[in-house]
Structure 1
Amino acid sequence: MIKIVATLLLLSFWVDAKTPAIVAHRGASQDAPENTIPAFKLAWEQGADAIEGDFFLTKDNHIVCIHDPNTKKVATRNLEIKKSTLAELRTLDVGVKYADHFKGTSIPLISEVFATVPAQKKMIYIEIKCGTEIIPPLLKEIGRSGLKQKQIVIISFNHKVIEAMKIKAPQYKAFWLSGMERDRSGKPNPSLETVLSTLKKINADGFSSHHRHIDKKFIRELIDKGYEYHVWTVDDAKTAARFQQWGATSITTNVPAHIQKSIAK
C-alpha cells in the first residue's frame, strides 16, 4: 500500500510539473532594450520558447512594437504613437538610453519582429495595447508573415479586443490579461467567478495574470473548466518552479536563459 501511495504521489507531481513554455517578456529585456530587435534576437539565443511584444497602431496605420502609448520612457524625445507617423517614430533612438552600445536602435515594425521568429515551433505572444482598430491590419501582417497558426498567440488587458479577435480570427489562441489583487477579506480580485464569466463571454482560450495574489486552487479550477493559465512576470527560479507545478502553460520572464535553465533541472 505504501508503495502504491508513493507511486501515485510521484505521478501526481509529474502531471502538475509539465514543462511550461518560457516567454521572453519584451524580448530578453534585462539584457537589451525592451521591445527591440536586439532584445528579441537575444531571447532566441537564450533559448526562449516564445517572445512577447507590445503593439500599437500609428497615425498612418502601421503596427509598431513599443510598450507605452508614447516614447517618453525609451527615447530622448516624447511622441504619442497614435498621433505620429512611422517616419516620425523611426527618427527616434530607443537603444541609447539603455546602453551606449545599443545606440541607433529604432522602434521596430511588427513585420520585423515576426521576421525574427524561427520557422519551427517557436511562438510570438502579441500584446495588443490599443483598441480593436488594430485587428484588420494585424491580421494582414500575420498573413504576410509566413508564421503558422500555432505560432501566434494574442493577448490583451482589454477584453473587448480579445472578443473581437476571436470573432474575426477564431483560429488563433487569445488570452485575457489581468493583474491580481486581494480585497479586504483577502479574496482574489478579480474573483474566479468574474474571470470564468469573462472568459466565457469573450470566447477566450485562457487567462494570464501576474504571479502575485493567485494560488494553486484558483489555477486548477480554471484548468478544470477547460482554460489555459499563463503567468507573468517571473524572474526567480523558486516562483517559476511553483507555477510549473501548479500547471501554468507558460511563464513570461525578463530573464529567459535563467528561467529556462531552472525549469530544465
Structure 2
Amino acid sequence: MQIYGHRGARGEAPENTLPSFHKALEAGVRRVELDLHLSSDHQLMVIHDPTLKRTTGIKGKIAAHTAAELTRLDARLGLAGWNEHCAIPTLEQLFHSCPEFEHYQLEVKSGSAAQSRRVMNAVMPLVEQFGLREKVVITSSSRTLLRYVQQNGGELSTGLVEEYGFLDPVKSALRYQCRFLVLNWKLCTPARIAQAQRQGLHVSVWTVNDPQLMLRLRDMGVDSLITDVPHLAVRVLGGTGETH
C-alpha cells in the first residue's frame, strides 16, 4: 500500500507549504496530495481554500491577487504554534524544490468549463517542463473538470474525489474514464474496493490519521492512503512510504 502526504504533511507543518512537503520527504514518503487555485495572473498556487483567511489571516480571494503577491504572504496559520514564515508556493516552485517526489495527486476545485480550461492551460506546460506526465493525476469532485481533462488533457490521468457517495462512486469514476477513485474513508467497504479494483481503478483513501484505521484500510486492500501524519503512517505500516 502506498502512502500520500496530505497537503504535504498537514499535521506536521503548515499545510501546502514547502516545509510541509519537506516533512513528507523526511518521513520517506515520496507521494503527495495537494490543492490548486489560480492567481489573478493565471499561475497555479498550492493552497486549499479559495480564500486566504484561514491560513494567512488576511481577507481576500486567491483569484484577486497575483502570484508575486501571494508568494509574499505567510501561511503558517495552517498549523497552530508554527514559528517560522511559510510562503504560499506556486506549483512550479514545488516541482523545483521537491524533485524527489514520485507521484502527485493534484486536486482542482473547479466549477466551470472556462475555469477548467484556464487551470489545464496552466498545468500542462509545467507537467511537460518537469517531465511529470506519468507522475501526476488530476483529481477533482467536479465532473466538469474531469470531463474537460478527459477531452483535452492529452491522456493525463484523472481521479474522482468522492466524499458523500450519493451516486455510485465506481460507476461515476468509470463514466469519466478516471484511473483513480479518491474516497472519503467512511465510504470504504471491502466490496466497494474490490469492485473498483476489478474495473482497473486505483483506490486512494483520505484523510487517514488513526493507526487502527490505517491498519483496517490496509487489510481491506486499498491501494493508497492519504494522511496528515506521514511519519506516523510509515511507523504504523512499515517501510518507507510504500508497503505491501
1:141 partnered with 2:126: yes
**Residue 242 (structure 2) aligns with:** none
Q: Write the mapping of 1:1-265 to structure 2, written as runs, cut at 5 A.
A: 20-95=1-76, 98=79, 99-103=81-85, 105-119=86-100, 122-130=102-110, 131-132=115-116, 133-147=118-132, 149-180=133-164, 189-191=165-167, 194-264=168-238
Counterpart Cα distance in 2 of 1:100 and 1:262: 25
**Contact (CA 8 Å) 2:3, 2:224: kept in 1 or not?**
yes
Counterpart Cα distance in 2 of 1:206 and 1:151: 13
Which ranges of structure 1 fall in alignment gaps of 5 or more residues? 1-19, 181-188
CA shift, 1:245, in A, is 2.0
Q: Deviations over 1:49-100 (max 9, x none)?
A: 3011100011111110100000000112112011222233233211267435
TM-score, scaled to structure 2: 0.88
Which residue identity does 2:238 align to in structure 1?
A: A
**Contact (CA 8 Å) 1:237, 1:259: kept in 2 or not?**
yes
Which stretch of the first structure deviates more once superposed, 61-70 or 90-99? 90-99
Give secondary structure in 2 for the equivalent of 1:252.
strand
Counterpart Cα distance in 2 of 1:125 and 1:247: 20
TM-score, scaled to structure 1: 0.81
Which ranges of structure 2 fall in alignment gaps of 5 or more residues? 240-244
CA shift, 1:225, in A, is 2.2
Identity of aligned residues (%): 24
Rate the CA distance shift 1:242–1:170 in 2: closer, same or farther, 3 A: farther
Rate the CA distance shift 1:213–1:200 in 2: closer, same or farther, 3 A: closer
Q: Root-mean-square deviation (CA), in Å? A: 1.9
From the CA coordinates, give the structure whose radius of gyration is larger: 1
Q: Deviations over 1:204-239 (max 9, x none)?
A: 113111111431111111112222211000012211
Which residue identity does 1:70 align to in structure 2?
A: T
